[in-house]
Amino acid sequence: MAVAIGVGVSWWMRRAEPPQSPSTSAAFTLTEVPSVTGAGRVTAVAAVDEKRFLMGTSQGKVITIEMRPGQSPASTVLTSVPAQVRDLTLSGDGRTVAVFDATGLVRVQGLRGGTPNDFRIDLTEGPVTLNRSGTELAYGQFTITLIDTRTRQARTLPPKAVPDGGRSAYDDRAITDDGRVLAAGAEGIDIWYLNAPAKASKPITCACPAASVALSPDGRYATYGTVDGHAVVVDIDKRAVLEDKTLSPRPDDFVGTVTAFGSGSYFAAGTSTPDRVVIWDAAKHRIVWDHMFSQHKIAEVSAVPGSGALLVQTNRYQDLGHEPFNTVRPWLVRPRE
């Protein structure tokens, strides 16, 4: 059962951000998500919805933060793991979380409590991905392993052919409702079919200098960031590039995270020089929001389930005392009403 013990909630003191032109800032609003106190640094964040967030800490706590209209946010400790939380992954139905800690422990825990299931994997093989119901997880940097969280049965999927130039580690994985497992890296996207896992298929590539890649939970799209300031959206079924958006004219602008979000045609990306989050409307082919985070690195942008909002995670370049270096700081970007 989740209980509130020795953990508080606080708002970081807001600091001035660089001004933005009305043409790129009016469509969305930016707010800070309340953070936790008394449990170490925040090291991982996941959004359940617009009002509930999970925060993992350097002391191994996983805390639920709930926003309440007209009241202070509420915090409860969902679970505790032996070491710093490195990653939090939610199932597609939003009922289960997989906690990955700095010892290689994976804890699969229902958000309403219940008995957790613990698994051990090599620290270099995480983080993990859950299917929609939270009953199966996938992990692996070069070889993909699936585990049934109910029976604890594990199986390793047949390795795919390595491209001529070699292959880097997989950046993201997805288990889809239609029986596919996808793994994406800089060299392309590999697909396995669970009813025929040995079926051969060529990797799907973006033909771009990829720096990062993320898969949509339904396995329909892959979003790539490049080392030269582009964001590329690939339709996996059609094996075609849907969008190639130039986010920066600088050839050294590293796009480290890209995602689709909302119910329409919005995409968001985080860049490195300077550290910006850019939102563009793919249907209208124009940037609708562009915000620079002063003294922050953009760690990740991700869709908030069940809403048109975006979760942005940043961390500081340096230790500022009240906000130590490498503390994750969450922000919520919403369409303006």
User: Which residues, 6 or more positions from 106, have their beta carbon under 8 angstroms from its beta carbon?
Assistant: 98, 99, 100, 118, 119, 120, 121, 126, 128, 137, 139
124: helix, strand or coil: helix
3-class DSSP state of 274: coil
Q: Considering only CA atoms, which of 10, 9, 12 is closest in space to residue 321? A: 12
Beta strand pairing call for 329-335 and 28-32? antiparallel
The string of DSSP codes covering 49-80 is SSSEEEEEETTSEEEEEE--TTSPPEEEEEEE
Phi-psi region of 166 (alpha: psi -120 to 50; beta: other; left: phi over 0): left
Contacts 24+ apart (CB under 8 A), 246-252: 247/271, 247/276, 247/278, 247/280, 247/287, 248/273, 252/227, 252/228
The pLDDT of residue 57 is: 95
CA dihedral 277, 283, 285, 291 (to 10 degrees): -20
DSSP class of 115: -
pLDDT in tens, the chain (337 residues): 343 444 555 543 333 343 344 345 678 999 999 888 888 899 999 999 999 999 999 999 999 999 988 888 999 999 999 999 999 999 999 999 999 999 999 999 999 988 999 999 999 999 999 999 999 999 999 999 999 999 999 999 998 888 777 888 999 999 999 999 999 998 899 999 988 888 877 889 888 899 999 998 888 899 999 999 999 999 999 999 998 999 988 888 899 999 999 877 899 999 987 799 999 998 888 899 999 998 789 999 999 998 999 999 998 765 555 555 578 999 999 998 7
Chain centroid, CA 43 distance in Å: 13
Q: Which of 288, 58, 241 is nearest to 232 (CA)?
A: 241
Strands 74-80 and 210-215: unpaired
Containing H/E element for 23? helix 22-25
What is the dihedral sign for C-alpha 146, 151, 152, 155?
Answer: negative
Q: Tell me what pLDDT residue 52 has.
A: 96
The separation between CA 178 and the C-alpha centre of its own chain, rounded to angstroms, equals 22
Terminus-to-terminus CA distance in the chain, angstroms? 37
What are the backbone dihedrals phi and psi of residue 22, each rounded to the nearest 5 degrees, phi first?
A: -55, -30
Continuous H helices in 235-288: none
pLDDT at 321: 54
pLDDT for the residue numbered 337: 78
Instruction: Render the burial of 148-180: b for 16+ CB within 10 Å, e for the rest.
Output: ebeeeeeeebeebeeeeeebeebbbbbbbeeeb
